[in-house]
Copies of this chain bind each other. A is one copy, B any other.
């Protein structure tokens, strides 16, 4: 076969690439399919490993396939390219803040009661994707190692072993994080709540990206804060010009952003934007609460940096947890609060004394050896291939004008439907079919995104999930 290719005068690697490209075009190979290994390619085409690699690199450069560390290459985009969301959001701040609580409660209390639903609205990966057996083993070990089996009160800063591991884990993002400045909390939301309580007063205005996870909006509203929603680009994140304008024109107490794999857009803010953002905040002396709880769940080859990486003046309060990647029910999170350490620690101490002792110890030991990295590798791979399966199914079953986000990590997909579709109505129709979605309306206080929804691809990909997506597509078509 190698000689045939040579005879046509084309470069070998290009011919291989073109063949695969055509297979993708006619959907012989579909989104989510794994491509042959380099070794198989060499054998099939009688070429050298470097030629085979070159072919895949070429397809990668055209964004048709993507490499997954320690796994191989996957088809990631259909030849018939779907429209992706590219528009920057435009929150209308003239509108009065909407009350989203009733809708959120409806969606999530319904979800809780009915385990037979397909939980596309879920804000967490499914239990099946988490290392239950290994955590159980860790729990027994921690119980034996701790004095009193975890019955004793943890120190106000939190478990020291855990704090050291969090500092170690932060090395790849090249931030200066000293474990002595880390405070553990009962999950990432608690960390954010502590930061807000330490730095704001009722009536203050804080800036967030738009759309944003309703949890961030609800904690702010509960503290009687005003939320300024800023325009956000689905590929590059928060618009820096908008931040600049807001800081110069309005009294902003602080910013609360999710720079890595934002929720619901899945955006990863480019490093240069993170740097520029931190410089801007330094200029105006405005703190940033950085919600980085998805930072470890990336699709690329390495963990993205954080805004904390560029923080030289201690204005960034870096918050994280293992609630989305390892053990939601353990309630283990943390914050490195920059120069606001004392204030944040006081909030933790005065409102809760400390957080649960034993679960902190289990997570510390999980991070200490390679168990966490092994789990994350598997989780990232599952999430990425699930994402591709979702795209493939949406391409096949949703209306032509459907637009989807291009998450770079995390576990949620943002879907923009035809303007005629109201996703609160869609929610009602879908729930009758035992399918739960998160309507776009709950990701803002400015009554937008009524034709959008968030879907969780952190579920087990199987026939039920696939059928659920197909039914959703059909429902949307019926509504048009």
Note all chain B residues with C-beta closer than 8 A to A101.
346
Question: Of the candidates B112, B151, B347, B355, which one forms a contact with A135 in the assembled complex, judged by CB atoms under 8 Å apart?
Answer: B151
Q: List 18 A-B contacts (CB under 8 A).
A: A112-B155, A124-B153, A135-B149, A139-B149, A148-B329, A150-B330, A151-B328, A186-B352, A187-B352, A201-B224, A215-B353, A219-B350, A222-B351, A329-B356, A331-B353, A331-B354, A331-B355, A358-B358
- Residues in B whose Cβ lies below 8 Å from that of A222: 197, 346-347, 350-351
Residues of B within 8 A of A471 (CB): none
Q: Which residues of B contact A353 (CB under 8 A)?
A: 187, 189, 215, 331
Contact A351 B193 (CB under 8 A): yes
- Let me know if A147 is at the binding interface, CB within 8 A: yes
**Alpha-carbon gap, A355 to B328, bound state (A):** 10
Question: When chains A and B are docked, how far (Å) is the Cα of A155 from the Cα of B148?
Answer: 28
Say whether A350 contacts B151, CB under 8 Å: no
Q: Mark A387-407, 1 if CB is under 8 A from B, else 0.
A: 000000000000000000000
Question: Is A132 interfacial (CB-CB < 8 Å)?
Answer: yes
The answer to whether B154 touches A329 (Cβ under 8 A) is: yes
Q: With A139-B143, A358-B359 in contact, do A193 and B151 touch (Cβ < 8 Å)? A: no
- Please judge, given known A-B contacts A329-B356, A352-B189, A353-B187, whether A149 and B124 are in contact too, CB under 8 Å: no
Instruction: Closest B residue to A124 by CB, please name it.
Output: B153
Task: State whether A329 touches B359 (Cβ < 8 A).
Answer: no
Query: Taking the complex as formed, is A130 at the interface, i.e. its CB lies under 8 A from any CB of chain B?
Result: yes
Across-interface contacts of A18 in B (CB, < 8 A) = none
List A147-165 residues whose CB lies under 8 Å from chain B: 147-155
The complex is assembled from copies of this chain, and their number is 2
Instruction: Determine whether the beta carbon of A350 is less than 8 Å from that of B127.
Output: no
The residue that A351 contacts in the complex, of B153, B190, B327, with Cβ under 8 A, is: B190
Q: Does any Cβ of B come within 8 Å of A71's Cβ?
A: no
Check B139 against A152 for contact (C-beta < 8 Å): no
Contact mask for chain A residues 324-346; partner B; CB cutoff 8 A; 1 contact, 0 none: 00011111000000000000001
Query: Which residues of the other chain, B, contact A355 by a CB distance below 8 angstroms?
Result: 186, 331, 356
The complex places the Cα of A352 from the Cα of B154 at a distance, in Å, of 18
Q: Mark A167-204, 1 if CB is under 8 A from B, else 0.
A: 00000000000000000001101100100010001100
Asked if A276 is an interface residue, CB under 8 A from chain B, the answer is: no
Roughly how many angstroms separate A319 CA and B71 CA in the complex, as a whole number? 52
**Cβ-based interface call for A30 (8 A):** no
Query: Which among B130, B139, B202, B350 is the interface contact of A218 at CB below 8 angstroms?
Result: B350
Asked if A357 is at the interface of the complex by the 8 Å CB criterion, the answer is: yes
Contact with B along A115-153 (1 / 0, CB 8 A): 000000000100100101001100110010001111111
Other than the given A151-B327, A193-B352, 13 more pairs (CB < 8 A) read: A127-B152, A140-B140, A151-B329, A151-B330, A153-B329, A186-B186, A189-B353, A201-B202, A202-B202, A330-B356, A330-B357, A331-B352, A358-B359
